[in-house]
Structure 1
Amino acid sequence: MIDAIPSSTTATRSIALMYHAIGGPGSPDAAQDPHYTVEASRFATQLDALVRVAGGATSARDWLAAPSRAVVLTFDDGHASNHALAWPMLAERGLRADFFVNPGKVGEAGLASWAQLREMAAGGMSIQSHGWNHRYFTELDDRALREDLLRSRLAIEDHVGTAVTLLAPPGGRMRAELPAVARECGYTHVLGSEPGVLDGAASTRALPRMSVTAALDAATLERWIAGRGIARARLRYGVLGFAKRALGDRRYERLRGRLLGQGDVAR
C-alpha cells in the first residue's frame, strides 16, 4: 500500500524515527532490548541513507522550529550506547537528534550519566523527557502523572542546563489527554509511538514516530522516507495496541518477553 505525501506539503512534512540502543563495541548489554538494538554498522548505513535520500536528519526540537523534509531522529531510554556510539556517528555527519531520558534512572547500569548527557547537549543534541523512571503513564492517576511530568522536566533542566519542551511517553503508553496535560506542565509537544507522517502544523495531538527495530532494512527505511509503507506500519501498530488493551500492559509484556526469548521486557 502506498501513502503518497501531497506535493504541496512535502517541504514541511517528514517522518520521525524512534531508536533505542546501538549495539557494538562500547555498548553495554545492560538495559538493552535486543529487539530494538540496532547494530552500529547498520545504524551507520541508515544514517548515510538519510543524508542521501532525505538530505539529512535533525532533532524534533529543531524540526519543530523550522519544519523541512529532513528526517527527525529520536532515541528513547538514554542507553549508554547513545553517548558512546550514536552521538559520534551523528556528529561525524553533522546530524542532530533528541534523546529522551528518565532522570530517575540516569547513571544506572547501561544508561548514560548526567555528565555524558551534558556533553551531548553541548554538542548540539537535544535532551528531553521520557518520564521520571519509565513507569507507564497509563498506570498513573492524574495527580501522579502531573508530578511525574514536572519532576522529570525540572530535573533534566537542572542537570543538563537546557530547556526541556518535548515528552515521549514510556512504551508509547498514553491516554488521549496527555498532550493537553503535558502543555500544562511546561511541554510544547508529545512524541508518541504510533506510526505516521509528521506535520509541522500539528500541536494538539501526539506526533507520530516510526519504530526502528534491529531487523529494519535499508529498503524499508527508504520507502518510509518516500512516504510509502506507513499504512502497513499503522495497521501493525493497531493490532499490537488491541493486544495490549485486551491483555493489559504487564501481561502483554510477559507474553512478548516469552515470544522473543527475553523474559519480562517492558516496552
Structure 2
Amino acid sequence: MRTLALGYHDVVDGGAWDTSGFPGPTHATYKLDRRAFEQHLVAVSGAARRRGTVRDLLYTRTPASHQPPVLLTFDDGGASAYSCIADLLERAGWRGHFFIITDYLDRPGFVTTPQVRELAARGHVIGTHSCSHPTRMASCSWDRLIQEWTTSAAILSELLGEPVRIASVPGGAYSSRVAEAAAVAGITALFTSEPTSRCHQVDGCLVVGRYSLRRGTPARIAAALASGRLLPRLAQLCFWNCKKLAKAVGGERYLALRRMVYGAASTQVDRTASRGLPDCGPRTQEGQQPGVQRSHVAGEQVRRQGE
C-alpha cells in the first residue's frame, strides 16, 4: 500500500509566527505564511492525481497499481487549523488531518474544544499528537508511551463522541516501540515523519510516512511531491536519514545545538525544559478541563516541543 502524505504545521498571516502553535524561532521554520500556503494548495491540487484521507487507506480496497492518494496533514493543533487552514482546504476541495496535542487544548495559540468538534463535523480527520508532545518520544518508557497515546485518544474520543484511532508521532521521533504502544492503545493508523510513500503494519497499526513542507519550501516542490516525482522524494529521504543519525548520536546535544542555531537556546523556557525526565521530557501537574479528563503530563516546555 502506498500514499503520498504531506506534512504541515501552522499557517499564519503576515509572518506572525507566534500567533499559532508553539512560539519561537525554531518552530517558526515549520510554519507557512498564508499566501505561501495558498500557492501550495493551488500547486498540489493541480498535481495530485487522487485526493484522499486516511479513511481511504483503512477502509477502501484499491488495486496495488492504483494511484496512491495524496493526504494533507497538520500537526500540533495550532489555532490556525480552525481560523485559517480548514477554510482554505475546503475552498480547494480538500479535507485535512489535524493532529491535536491534548495538553494544549484551549490554551492561547491552540484550537479550542468547540473548534475541534466543528472541524470534525466539517469532514476533517481529527487525530492525536500525544498528550504533551515529548521532545524525544522514541526514548520514552513503555508506560509513558502507553499513557501518551491512551489518554490523548480518550480525551479526543470523549470530545467528539466517537473513537479517535488516528495519530501522528511528535517531533519525528519514531521507533517500532512507539508504533507498538500506539497499537496497544487502539490506534489503527500512525503517521510518522519518515519521507516514504510505502505504508506498513505494526501489530495491526498502519504506519504512514509523510513528506515535510516547511517555511521556504517552494510550491513547485509541494507539487512534485504530490505528483510522486522521485527526485524530491529521494532528496527528503537523504536529508531525513542524516538528521536521524545526528539525533541518535547527539541526543540532547543535538537538541541544544539546534536551539542555538535558531536563536532559542537562551530562553528560560528552554532551560527549564532541558531539566526534564531522562526518557523523554518533564512532567508537572496539569489542571483539568471541566467534563474532560486531562493528562497529568504537562506541556511547560513550550518552545522545545512543537515540531
TM-score bracket for this pair, using the shorter chain length: 0.7 to 0.9
1:24 is the counterpart of 2:13: yes
Which of 26, 34, 39 lines up with 2:33 in the alignment? 39
Q: Residues 152 and 134 of structure 1: is their aligned pair in 2 closer, same or farther, counting only changes over 3 Å?
A: same
Q: Residues 13 and 174 of structure 1: is their aligned pair in 2 closer, same or farther, counting only changes over 3 Å?
A: closer
State the shift of 1:37 in Å. 0.5
Q: Residues 126 and 30 of structure 1: is their aligned pair in 2 closer, same or farther, counting only changes over 3 Å?
A: closer
Distance 1:191 1:50 in 2: 20
Which of 232, 253, 256 lines up with 2:255 in the alignment? 253
State the shift of 1:219 in Å. 2.0
Distance 1:75 1:175 in 2: 21
Q: Secondary structure at the match of 1:215?
A: coil
Q: Secondary structure at the match of 1:203?
A: strand
Moved over 6 A (4+): none
Distance 1:159 1:197 in 2: 32
Distance 1:50 1:134 in 2: 29
Residue in structure 2 matched with residue 142 of structure 1 by the alignment = 142
Matches within 5 A, 1:227-246: 227-228=229-230, 229-246=232-249
Q: Residues 146 and 14 of structure 1: is their aligned pair in 2 closer, same or farther, counting only changes over 3 Å?
A: closer
Provide Cα deviations, 1:119-177, integer angstroms capped at 9, x if missing partner: 10110011101111112423421122112211111111001223211221110213222
Residue in structure 2 matched with residue 88 of structure 1 by the alignment = 87
Q: Say whether the 8 Å CA contact 2:47–2:223 is kept in structure 1.
A: yes
Q: Which amino acid in the other structure matches residue 162 of structure 1? A: E
Provide Cα deviations, 1:184-235, integer angstroms capped at 9, x if missing partner: 2111121111101144xx3236311011101111222222223322122111
Residue in structure 1 matched with residue 207 of structure 2 by the alignment = 206
State the shift of 1:44 in Å. 1.2
State the shift of 1:56 in Å. 5.5
What is the Cα-based RMSD across aligned positions, in Å?
A: 2.1
What is the TM-score normalised by the length of structure 1? 0.87
Q: Secondary structure at the match of 2:29?
A: helix
Q: Residues 115 and 247 of structure 1: is their aligned pair in 2 closer, same or farther, counting only changes over 3 Å?
A: same
Q: Which amino acid in the other structure matches residue 109 of structure 2? A: G
Q: Secondary structure at the match of 1:177?
A: helix
What is the TM-score normalised by the length of structure 2? 0.76
Residue in structure 1 matched with residue 105 of structure 2 by the alignment = 106
Q: Which amino acid in the other structure matches residue 55 of structure 2? A: R
Decide which moves more: 139-148 or 257-266. 257-266
Decide which moves more: 218-227 or 58-67. 58-67
Decide which moves more: 106-115 or 56-65. 56-65
State the shift of 1:183 in Å. 1.4
Identity of aligned residues (%): 25
Instruction: State the aligned residue count.
Output: 253
Residue in structure 2 matched with residue 5 of structure 1 by the alignment = none
Q: Say whether the 8 Å CA contact 2:73–2:98 is kept in structure 1.
A: yes
Runs of 5+ in structure 1 lacking a partner? Answer: 1-11
State the shift of 1:70 in Å. 3.1
Matches within 5 A, 1:52-63: 52-55=46-49, 57-63=51-57
Provide Cα deviations, 1:49-96, integer angstroms capped at 9, x if missing partner: 222111464332344333653311111100001111100001112211
Q: Residues 162 and 42 of structure 1: is their aligned pair in 2 closer, same or farther, counting only changes over 3 Å?
A: farther
Q: Secondary structure at the match of 2:72?
A: strand
State the shift of 1:260 in Å. 2.2
1:15 is the counterpart of 2:4: yes
